[in-house]
Amino acid sequence: MSQLAIYRKYRPATFEDLLGQEMVVKVLKGAAKSERLAHAYLLAGPRGTGKTTTARLIAKIANCEKRALDAKFREKGEPCNECGACRSIDDGSSLDVVEIDAASNRGIDEIRNLKESVRVAPTTNRYKVFIVDEAHMLTKDAWNALLKTLEEPPQYVIIVLATTEIEKVPPTIGSRTQKFFFKRASRDEIASKLKKIAAAEDIKIGSEALDLIASSAEGSFRDAESLLDQLVTFGDKTISLQEVEETIGKVGFDKLSAFAGHLLRRESGEALKSLTEIADGGFNLAAFTKDLIEYLRRVAVLKTSPEMRAAFSSELMEEHLNKIIDHAKLFEPKHLDLLKGLIAAYGQMRYSQFPIIPLEVAIAENAQ
């Protein structure tokens, strides 16, 4: 039997496990405690932040057998994850929880099928829950067909729409739902969860490697966990920083910081030598330049406003933040031209067959 992927194995089973979404958790747990679940929800936010997981938690809350029978347990505002309803929703066997991927089922026929299914009472549970993922992909006719169902759904129906592009959801739909906005997870939150997973799975991985995985995930728990899973499939549960760098095509913080130091000290020869090594290593130069711009942005901000250290502390490891603070002492007004040159280079290199050239030009101009 194939092993569960890490992101599935460690999917949040309760609202308390849903990291980085405190307001969403607070409101939904309050609704669960008072038995005031809405008939329709709209969950919006970046990928991998917990929207589909939350939709399934709503389904479990609505149908949990222990909550229905035990008033004291109901006060927790959480599913029991032990009753038949909770287990069937977790393993995807529940006939009363229907998930629709609107990216591939976006037409009016699919929504008409949903409308027909809505008319049929639940088979075993208290509620039928329809989860429409990537809802922004639905066609105009499909939205119109769904509108009537959202206006007057049966008492036993809950509809949850999940989307990464809420601006594409018609206002007439949004106004008939309770809306929740999911935010990107911080690097610290992702790294912390990865550290716990690594300990549970007996994976040996350093903090630098974990930090690189977390930062490359761009706020998505799922992307970070999938990357960790990919690295484990190499067959060795000891993961080095070099393996992470080679897998994602991004250099680690130490190399990035050293490169930035060469630029700030106008050591163009050393910078060009390092750049050649990075290019020869097969790293994504556009991604490297983007990270370099972000690094120097933080340097400039800390030079101008040292009190921003507190804001950056949740985004960076302490030792990384200290290196940026040291580089802020080297930053001068003339380095703003370097930052502008790198931004221009990044814009050019994304569409160039020779992406190294715009970056080399920016380095050469900085040396003048």
**Count of Cβ atoms closer than 10 Å to residue 286 Cβ:** 20
Query: What are the extents of the domains in the chain?
Result: 6-181, 187-248, 253-367
The lowest-confidence range among 235-239, 267-271, 348-352 is: 235-239
Residue 21 has what pLDDT?
Answer: 93
pTM of the model: 0.81
Would you say the CATH fold of 253-367 matches that of 6-181? no
The dotted CATH code for 187-248 is: 1.10.8.60
Q: How far apart are CA 80 and CA 93, in angstroms?
A: 17
Mean pLDDT across the chain: 90
Kindly report the CATH class assigned to 6-181: alpha beta
Kindly report the CATH class assigned to 253-367: mainly alpha
Percentage of the chain lying above the pLDDT 90 cut: 62
pLDDT digits (tens, 9 = 90+) for 326-360: 999 999 999 999 999 999 999 998 777 888 999 99
Task: Give pairs for 246-250: CB < 8 Å, separation 24+.
Answer: 246/281, 246/282, 248/212, 248/213, 248/216, 249/282, 249/283, 249/284, 249/287, 250/212, 250/216, 250/283, 250/284, 250/287, 250/288, 250/291
Q: How far apart are CA 226 and CA 213, in angstroms?
A: 10
243, amino acid identity: E
Closest residue by Cα to residue 180 from 16, 314, 14, 53: 53
**Count of Cβ atoms closer than 10 Å to residue 185 Cβ:** 26
Closest residue by Cα to residue 147 from 169, 165, 167: 169
Residue 353 has what pLDDT?
Answer: 83
66, amino acid identity: K
Residue 107 has what pLDDT?
Answer: 66
Q: Are 105 and 138 in contact (CB under 8 A)?
A: no
pLDDT digits (tens, 9 = 90+) for 173-227: 999 999 999 999 888 899 999 999 999 999 999 988 999 999 888 889 999 999 9
| Burial status of residue 291 (CB atoms within 10 A of its CB: 0-12, 13-18, 19 or more) | buried
Q: Taking residues 4-28, what's their average pLDDT?
A: 91
Q: Which residues pair with 101 in a beta bridge?
A: 133
Question: Does the pLDDT of residue 1 top 60, yes or no?
Answer: no
Structure tokens at 251: 């250099």
- Those residues with Cβ within 8 angstroms of residue 187's Cβ, 6 or more apart along the chain or in another chain: 211, 214, 215, 314, 315, 316
Structure tokens at 3: 């092993």
The lowest-confidence range among 28-32, 51-55, 347-351 is: 347-351
